[in-house]
Amino acid sequence: MLHSSLSYPLPTPEPGNLLEVAPGVRWLRLPLPYRLNHINVWALDDGEGWALVDTGARTEETVAVWERFLGTGPLQRPLTRVFITHMHPDHIGMAGWLTRRYDARMWISRLEYLSCRALVSDTCREAPAEALQFYREAGWDEAALEHYRVRFGNFGKHVHALPDSFRHLVDGQVIRIGRHDWEVVIGRGHSPEHACLYCPDLRLLISGDQVLPRISSNVSVYPTEPDADPMSDWMASLDTLQSRIPDDVLVLPSHNDCFHGLHARIAQLRQDQNAALSRLRDALEQPRRVPDTFAALFNKPVDGSDAMRLQLATGEAIACLNHLTYRGEIRKEIRDGVAWYQRTPSQRLQW
């Protein structure tokens, strides 16, 4: 298996401890209050102080870690800049707190910043009718819809108030951080404009959630853009990373451990996704609703009583279904307010 092509040259730091991964680059693992219980963040020597890449979610535990490490703590020197790979709460949650407390500027791509502001603005709002229609069409029952109503707007609870200004990250931009240049490589699919950072001198790639060694990133469609095709964006981004980043880098991911074997992992992610799409095509010989595709896509059933898992599975299933729809391989029909999907007649003859 291609997984065996990966190697992990570094020990895993205990949560809240620093580990040097290269000269001037420190690894800090922060706890998360989710099923995925940690995030890796990175401190880069920026000359007069430290630049951070990602920040952790807004929790009392995370605040305590940052208070211990910054100022008079192990990092000692001032905080110079805060780089954000993308807008999910485990990455951006503490950015506002850190930038205000230590008078630092946040660097982030524009779409990630604006998307985060939009989601945070949903805090305390009622679930919109369009969102409920989206999940009803996706085959959710009333119990699942009620869970969604209750949870709607929770995104902002793990995000400190965002800075009111930021420095824009763009694809191909080269940023001097301390003694080294880092190139911005934008990926899409998991989030709108995810920024990876590549340092040729140190042979390092901070991959964020675009490439993870042991899990695959969620690629979802959301009610705000129900006809999106993020799966095409995701696959194109894998191609971009493979063509622009050499295979001999040490990959610093947001979850799991640092690893060698970038191109092998990209090949595995692409292979796994294509296999899932193939299983989905086979399953759509007969008309099926979104929940009916879970077993084929994920090789296991999804517990509908687990609200977060159901939402993630639904979003990813629709991403795959939209992808095949745009390729003309399947068609969608609405019956009594619920979407049904089936392979097109020509595809049924070919497969």
Question: Which residue ranges make up each domain of the chain?
Answer: 2-127+155-283
345, HSE (Cβ side, Cα atoms, 13 Å): 0
Higher-pLDDT residue of 105 and 124 is: 105
For residue 281 the two structure tokens come to 């095509």
d(CA 94, CA 38): 14
Residue entry with tokens 């985060």: 116
- Tens digits of residue pLDDT in 272-319: 999 999 999 999 999 999 999 999 999 888 887 889 999 999 999 999
- Tens digits of residue pLDDT in 151-167: 999 999 999 999 999 99
Instruction: Count the residues in the chain.
Output: 351
Beta strands across the sheet bearing 180-187:
174-177, 180-187, 194-199, 204-208, 250-253, 259-260
Residue 351 has pLDDT above 90, yes or no: no
85, HSE (Cβ side, Cα atoms, 13 Å): 31
**Helix residue ranges per DSSP H, 121-206:** 129-137, 142-151
For residue 288, the 8-state DSSP code is B
What three-state secondary structure class fits 283?
helix
d(CA 21, CA 161): 31
Higher-pLDDT residue of 17 and 194 is: 194
- Tens digits of residue pLDDT in 78-102: 999 999 999 999 999 999 999 999 9
What is the value of pTM for the model shown?
0.95
Average pLDDT, the chain: 95
What three-state secondary structure class fits 119?
helix
For residue 60 the two structure tokens come to 């009392």
For residue 205 the two structure tokens come to 């790639």
Q: In this structure, which topology does domain 2-127+155-283 adopt according to CATH?
A: Metallo-beta-lactamase; Chain A (3.60.15)
* 22 beta partners: 25
* CA-CA-CA-CA dihedral for 34, 140, 86, 116, to nearest 10: -100
| Segment 309-316 long-range contacts (CB within 8 Å, at least 24 positions apart) | 310/140, 310/144, 311/148, 312/218, 312/220, 314/135, 314/138, 314/140, 314/220, 314/290, 315/218, 315/220, 315/221, 315/222, 316/218, 316/219, 316/220
Residue 347 has pLDDT above 70, yes or no: no
